[in-house]
Amino acid sequence: MLEIQSGIVIKSTGSWYTVWLDSGMRQECRIKGQLRIKGLNLKNTNPFAVGDRVDVELEPTEGIGIISKLHDRRNYIIRRSTNLSKQTHIIASNIDRAYVMATLVEPRTSTGFIDRFLITAEAYSIPATIIFNKRDLLDEEYQDYVKQLMRLYESLGYSCHFISSTNANDVAKIAAEMQGKINLVSGHSGVGKSTLINALEPQLDIRTGELSQAHNKGMHTTTFAEMHPLKNGGWVIDTPGIKEFGIIDLDKKELSHFFPEMRERFGQCKFHNCVHDNEPGCAVRKAVEEGQIAETRYTCYLAVMNGEELDKAYD
Ligand SMILES: Nc1nc2c(ncn2[C@@H]2O[C@H](COP(=O)(O)OP(=O)(O)O)[C@@H](O)[C@H]2O)c(=O)[nH]1
Ligand SMILES: [Mg+2]
Ligand SMILES: [Zn+2]
């Protein structure tokens, strides 16, 4: 007899999937030989991503589940498989909150990286939070700079934390916030994502300290996110090696909608189709000149609009 159970995908390698069944069991799964599942986009290299809710057919004799149905996704984030290809790769879905972890030293995260992450979160309507990590490594001057950045981002509606992943009190605050939700943690290699996740769930014992990924440079390495259960309920998704989230098919005229401080000035420019570049009577540029919009944010806006890649120095 074929039994069908629902569950959530917690690991996806493209050919094998691990599903956490609602019964609490982990189940290794395959997908049907020929993908003929309703609602799937075949341009995706991985038809199922972590966070997906699925139905699984369980064959009692085989021990392997077959994913037979994808439930609707509340949201998802996606990137191109390679810069040139049209194929896309879904990183994760059904995310309640996306965290970007940033550090000022070892390594230094640029505001451009943070801003691009926030654009992506806005584009996919996912609440975003910035975690400034490695507080213990920062002198007073650096700490003041972080606090200044926090004031900027909080004024735009993004919550911020300033923590050390190695400090138990700090970790407890994050744990409380993450409880019961699907949380994605992103950021450059070396900022402390795995350290934080290990501190949240010590039994996970994820590898840390991979500061150098030199062997990966220049190669197309597909990295799959993995979702880990939190003991008090909820999930945390580690995104190893994902340098940058891309927005697929971004319409330049819409880019400013993903900047809260520009969105707020919608309709105030002289020209209704103003893209806030060189147009006369631009309310956004005026706000930048008057210091009401941060220069770093505006610079990032122009860079993304012009299709510029992030400064390689920060990768
Ligand atoms: N001083 C200090 N070091 C940290 C902190 N968080 C992580 N690290 C160290 O930073 C290095 C990279 O951490 P890891 O968790 O592997 O970063 P990931 O690449 O983002 O997963 C490791 O050597 C960690 O021990 C922190 O809050 N303070
Ligand atoms: Mg890691
Ligand atoms: Zn304008």
Which CATH number does the domain 97-238 belong to among 3.40.50.150, 3.40.50.970, 3.20.20.450, 3.40.50.300? Answer: 3.40.50.300
pLDDT of residue 280: 97
Asked whether residue 247 carries a pLDDT value surpassing 70, the answer given is no
State the DSSP code for 310: P
| CB-based pocket (< 6 A), ligand 1 | 133-134, 136-137, 164-166, 187, 189-195, 208-211
Q: Which two tokens stand for residue 18?
A: 């691990």
* Residue 87 CB neighbours (<10 A): 13
Q: Which ligand is nearest to the CA of 271?
A: 3
- The residues spanned by each domain of the chain are 3-72, 97-238, 252-314
Pocket test for ligand 1, best of 208, 226, 237 (most atoms within 8 A of CB): 208
252-314: what CATH class?
mainly alpha
Q: What are 130-148's pLDDT values in tens digits?
A: 999 999 999 999 999 999 9
3-72: what CATH class?
mainly beta
- The residue whose CA has the least distance to atom 9 of ligand 1 is 192
Share above pLDDT 90 across residues of the chain, in percent, rounded to a whole number: 66
Q: What are 178-229's pLDDT values in tens digits?
A: 999 999 999 988 999 999 999 999 888 777 875 444 444 434 444 678 899 9
Ligand 2 midpoint to CA 150 (Å) = 24
User: Exposed/middle/buried for 206, CB within 10 Å: 0-12, 13-18, 19+?
Assistant: middle
Mean pLDDT of 120-127: 93
Measured from the Cα of 133, ligand 1's closest atom is: 27
pTM, 2 dp: 0.90
Ligand 3 midpoint to CA 256 (Å) = 9
Give CA–CA dist 284/261, Å, rounded.
Answer: 8
Query: For residue 248, what are the CA distances in angstroms to 93, 199, 239, 264?
Result: 15, 34, 18, 24
